[in-house]
């Protein structure tokens, strides 16, 4: 037999330290605490500037969700989505360079 493995029925000497309990031996309050939801915590997702002040402001607003419970995230996400959608709509409304004139059937040269 291997000397490092105690034989069945042999008692180990007292060391003065308590061994950790198995999961099924936890005290009654510990089981609920282990399954309780964690509080809000920042995700630490880096946000790179886009160069558009309006878009950058909306993206910075996402940091507000870091300090809310998940129930509060939807309000922040909807606000950011609305702001980004408005920014895209504003791009469509800006006047751009004039469109080239449509070709006329009489402009064909052969």
Q: What does the pLDDT average to over 70-93? A: 91
- What pTM does this model have? 0.50
Buried b (16+ CB within 10 A) or exposed e, 63-93: eebeeeeeeeeeebeeebeebeeebeeeeee
Length, in residues, of the chain: 110
Give me the pLDDT at residue 69, please: 85
Q: What is the DSSP track for 45-71?
A: ------S-HHHHHHHHHGGGGGGS-HH
Q: Within 10 A of 58 (CB to CB), how many other CB atoms are there? A: 20
pLDDT at residue 29 tops 70 = no
């Amino acid at each position: 037999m291997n000397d490092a493995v105690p034989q069945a029925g042999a008692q180990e000497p007292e060391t003065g330290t308590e061994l950790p309990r198995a999961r099924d031996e936890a005290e009654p309050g510990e089981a609920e605490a282990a399954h309780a939801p964690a509080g809000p915590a920042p995700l630490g997702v880096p946000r790179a500037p886009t160069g558009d002040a309006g878009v950058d402001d909306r993206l910075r607003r996402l940091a507000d969700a870091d300090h809310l419970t998940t129930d509060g995230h939807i309000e922040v996400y909807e606000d950011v989505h609305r702001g980004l959608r408005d920014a895209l709509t504003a791009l469509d409304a800006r006047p751009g360079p004039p469109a080239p004139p449509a070709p006329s059937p009489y402009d064909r040269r052969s």
